[in-house]
Amino acid sequence: MVQPVFPTASHASAVRPSRSRAPLPEELRQIPWLARLDEVERQRIVADLRVVAVEPGELVCRVGRPVTYWFGVIDGLLKMSNDSALGVPITFTGVPSGGWFGEGTVLKNEVYRYNIQALRKSTVAGITTATFHWLLDRSIGFNRFVMNQLNERLGQFIGAREIDRLTSPDERVARSLAALFHPVLYPGVGELLRITQQELGYLVGLSRQRVNEALHALQEAGVIRVEYGGVRVLDLEHLRRYQQLD
């Protein structure tokens, strides 16, 4: 069984003490909500933050585990999915660089209802739930960030339901790519998403070959450009509304 890489109340030995570390200055600069904090708040966050290098296939959190951290991706790509042992595996969304996730679970102090797994070698940060709630009680700026996260996440999952109903693979790839270029949820992506066709296939539920065909169609439509190591968005609004011509 694959264990989560961050410690939890029920499996505190999942991370050896030597594996997690304090964040580097350049990693702190990639955390979008830190700029909203005052000096006292920032000092507590920097002292509380832990960073872990996650290998492909490793779990950051697992279905049924109690929540102990709020997570963010400093660099890399994760996927959020259900537990395949409970039925047909479903990928809900990808989480690229700059994305923070799980605030709803932390707010409700629930066990995880999804798995978060690394698709590639990634750097993941986390603050404890105690510090998360301390910030909510103290910081207006942090409250606004979390509120925006929840609002945008709701729209994201409504969009994911729509993607599930699409029969055109090209449209599925277009909508899924557009979701990963979300400027609020994933500010670290910018205009170039570093992703392989195999990774995109895992997120969309298509073969690498079919993803390749879809990317070529989207490139011919002028909405993206496939570059070495990733995809550059040229027209985000068109990508969100892309429809395959008969």
**pLDDT, average across residues 34-56:** 95
The CATH number assigned to the domain holding 179 equals 1.10.10.10
Residue 19: the pLDDT is 81
The span from the CA of 71 to the CA of 69, in Å, is 6
Mean pLDDT computed over 26-39: 95
| CATH number for position 50 | 2.60.120.10
Would you say residue 161 lies in a domain? no
User: Does 73 score more than 90 pLDDT?
Assistant: yes
| Structural domain that includes position 57 | 12-154
pLDDT given at position 15 = 39
Assess whether 19 and 108 both reside in one domain.
Answer: yes
pLDDT for the residue 10:
37
CA distances from 213 to 123, 183, 191, 216 (A): 31, 26, 21, 5
In the chain, % helix, strand, coil (3-state, to 5) comes to 40, 20, 35
pLDDT at 160: 66
Residues 38 and 60 in one domain: yes
Contacts of 94 (CB under 8 A, 6+ apart): 77, 78, 79, 80, 119, 176, 179, 180, 199, 203
Tally of domains within the chain: 2
Higher pLDDT, 84 or 90: 90
- pLDDT in the model for residue 6: 60
- pLDDT above 90: residue 154: no
Which of 236, 219, 232 is closest to 184 using CA atoms?
A: 236
| Claim to verify: residue 46 and residue 146 sit in the same structural domain | yes
User: Mean pLDDT for the chain?
Assistant: 86
Q: Are residues 173 and 219 in the same domain?
A: yes
* More confident: 160 or 191: 191
Domain boundary (154, 183, 198) is at: 154
What percentage of the chain exceeds 90 in pLDDT? Answer: 60
Q: Measured between alpha carbons, how far is 37 from 49 in angstroms, rounded to an integer?
A: 14
Q: Is the pLDDT of residue 242 over 80?
A: yes
Does residue 149 carry a pLDDT above 80?
Answer: yes
Rounded to whole angstroms, how far apart are CA atoms 86 and 174? Answer: 29
- For residue 166, pLDDT beyond 80: no
The pLDDT of 164-168, averaged and rounded, is 71
pLDDT band, residue 131 (cuts 50/70/90): very high
pLDDT the model gives residue 83? 66
Residue 235 pLDDT exceeds 90: yes
Report d(CA 149, CA 55) in Å as an integer. 26
Instruction: Give the closest residue to 97 by CA, choosing from 121, 75, 116.
Output: 75
Q: Return the number of other C-beta atoms located less than 10 Å from residue 237's C-beta.
A: 10
Residues 139 and 56 in one domain: yes
pLDDT digits (tens, 9 = 90+) for 186-208: 988 888 889 999 999 988 888 99
118 and 174: one domain?
no
Residue 144 shares a structural domain with residue 190: no
Task: Judge whether 1 lies within some domain.
Answer: no
Residue from 92, 127, 133, 93 nearest 109 by CA = 133
Strands 230-233 and 192-193: antiparallel
pLDDT tens by residue, 93-112: 889 999 999 999 999 999 99
Q: Which residues have CB under 8 Å from 85's CB, separation 6+?
A: none
Provide DSSP, 90-146: -EEEEEETT-EE-HHHHHHTPBPSSEEEESS-EEEEEEEHHHHHHHHHH-HHHHHHH
Q: Can you give the pTM of this predicted structure?
A: 0.82
